[in-house]
């Protein structure tokens, strides 16, 4: 998370959610495919926001 210290709160929030997604998914017995799909969605969203912010 040190890498994100200069990032926006929105990016920090998404990255934090990505970090805990697998552990929480396993805790609640989600299928690994569901967890992977969710993590991919969050990574895609993170990339879109990061790209949009670099244009500004």
What's the chain's length in residues? 56
Which position has the higher pLDDT, 4 or 55? Answer: 55
2 domain residue, yes or no:
no
State residue 51's pLDDT score. Answer: 92
3 domain residue, yes or no:
no
For residue range 6-48, what is the model confidence (pLDDT) as tens digits?
788 999 999 999 989 989 999 999 999 999 999 999 999 999 9
Is the pTM of the predicted complex or chain greater than 0.85? no
User: CA-CA distance, 55 to 46, in Å (whole number)?
Assistant: 15
Determine the structural domain holding residue 39 and report its residue range: 8-55
Which position has the higher pLDDT, 32 or 2? Answer: 32
Number of domains in the chain: 1
27 domain residue, yes or no:
yes
42 domain residue, yes or no:
yes
């Amino acid at each position: 998370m040190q890498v994100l210290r200069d990032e926006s709160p929105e990016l920090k929030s998404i990255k934090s959610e990505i970090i805990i997604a697998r552990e929480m998914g396993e805790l609640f017995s989600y299928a690994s495919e569901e967890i992977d799909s969710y993590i991919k969605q969050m990574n895609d969203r993170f990339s879109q926001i990061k790209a949009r912010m670099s244009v500004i």
